Chains A and B, each alone.
Chain A
Amino acid sequence: MITRRSLLEAAGAGSLLAGTGILVPRLVAAQAETQPSLNLSPALPEGTRTGAILDTLPGKKPLIKLSYRPPNYEAPVEYLRTDITPNDEFFVRYHLSDIPRVDAGSWKLAIGGDGANGEIRLGLDDLKQFTAVEVVALCQCSGNRRGLMQPHVPGVEWGYGAMGCARWKGVRLKDLLDKAGLKKEAIEIVLDGADKGVSDKTPKFTKSLPLWKAIEDTTLIAYEMNGQPLPHWNGFPARVVVPGWTGTYWMKHVTSLAAVTKPYDGFWMKSAYRIPLGKFPVVARFSSQETAVNTPITDMVVNSLITSHADGAMVKVGGTITVAGIAWDGGYGMGSVDVSVDGGKTWTAAALGQDRGPFALRAWSLHFVPKTPGKHVVMARATNKIGQSQATVLIPNPAGYHHNLVQSLTLVAA
């Protein structure tokens, strides 16, 4: 079967063939099918570039290992050429190192809190009695591309691959809250999961959502990902899915939902995952958690990624090449993706791929014939339906969130 990916790989092999003879490129092409390319950005910290390796977690294809424990593994860019990311290519991100293998048979989800009328406990079979809902949604780490921040800020130094888009199936969080019964004083829903720190003094990774977001029709407790049970590394047996919002709220191995009547003040809300107030063009407000200077990160900023070519890729003068990639935002829908092949002087609207809903990745592509030998600087810029475009100047912030600088890479025509 000819897929878009195999076409792109064939195009890549062809360009190598043109440049360096016959035997070597065939070997390169054969290896490329089994092992992805690291293709680390030169903008990453030197120590990140030295330490990052391809490594295979059980049940996964090789991913780019940034840290073993807790496991932080990102997808090579070539895994992001499709608008749905296969489960075994999906990135892995944990904050804390004690990650139990959860047994689906004994797993329970507790729904209660002081903002609920009582507590209920549901097993996986109980959960599946509620109306099943599906949504295609991108899960992207708040700190995706942190490693590209200038100046660098400490943390997991992600390149481009702390993101993946899946078809999630589960039940509405709202339906579960309705079953437990909410008091009118409830303002936030606190989310907890099974993973924790090695020391019992390490704050558990616990998050909260404003009630309005928790009860949106697309906010789910998901037990399936692309038609399969969730992989262990992505939250088996069930995780929270918050379409449009960054991955920090997508609690893996979820064990409890607690409605609360006061703002939740745990470390991961009060101190972590905050952005300066007023600097980013985000729409969704988390008012109960705002301070005079900062606010929890909420919806994703509009962004795009060129996936068809690596920086410095060789292409053929006079040949038609397809520059392609993906685009996304916080759920307002993709308006257009404009591509420049002359370093930003002129821009042309790319063709958009299938619309899988406002929370999904949107594929795009543009044909381009390099007419002259030498360097061609390719750039992509997404604009969403509410008129937001990618940043042209990086917005610095202490934790390195929301990197959506217009990407630029160089193709070398010969």
Chain B
Amino acid sequence: MRSIAIAALMTALTAFSSAAEERPVQLKQAPGLDKVESNCAGCHSLDYVPMNSPFLSPAGWDAEVAKMINAFGAPIDPADVKAIADYLKSNYGM
């Protein structure tokens, strides 16, 4: 799964470089950030996270992560799901 995510990330960056300039989005340094960066940034820029903060409850962030996996087919390593959700709740939740 990890290799799929990385391949997706490379595809996205390649596709994007010809279209517009994306500046790096630095999320808060905290445990789990590496999982967020490696699993989420392949499909979308990470500014989606702070944009949706800080108003989501823990259940709200769980629902967002589940939506990415179940509705959008995000290739997220199942072992990383909890770490990603915990990071979002702790750093961008309420």
Contacts and interface: CB of A to CB of B under 8 A. Distances in A.
Q: Do A and B come from one complex?
A: yes
Interface in A51-86: 51-52, 57-58, 65-71
Contacts of A200: 73
Nearest to B10: A198
Contacts of A47: 49-54, 92
Interface residues of A, number: 36
Contacts of B71: 203, 267, 271
Contacts of B92: 47
A356 interface: no
B45 A199 contact: no
The SS class assigned to the B binding surface is: loop
B51 A97 contact: no
A51 B50 contact: yes
A183 interface: no
Nearest to A153: B55
Interface SS of chain A:
loop
A99 B47 CA distance: 19
Contacts of B72: 197, 199, 201-203
Contacts of B15: 97-100, 198
B13 to A, nearest CB: 9
B59 to A, nearest CB: 12
A288 B47 CA distance: 37
Contact of B16 (A67, A69, A151): A69
Contacts of A50: 50
A396 interface: no
A67 B73 CA distance: 20
A301 B15 CA distance: 37
A199 B50 contact: no
Shortest 5 CB-CB distances between A and B: which pairs?
A: A201-B73, A47-B53, A47-B50, A68-B45, A152-B55
Interface of A: 45-48, 50-52, 57-58, 65-71, 97-101, 151-152, 154-157, 197-203, 267, 271
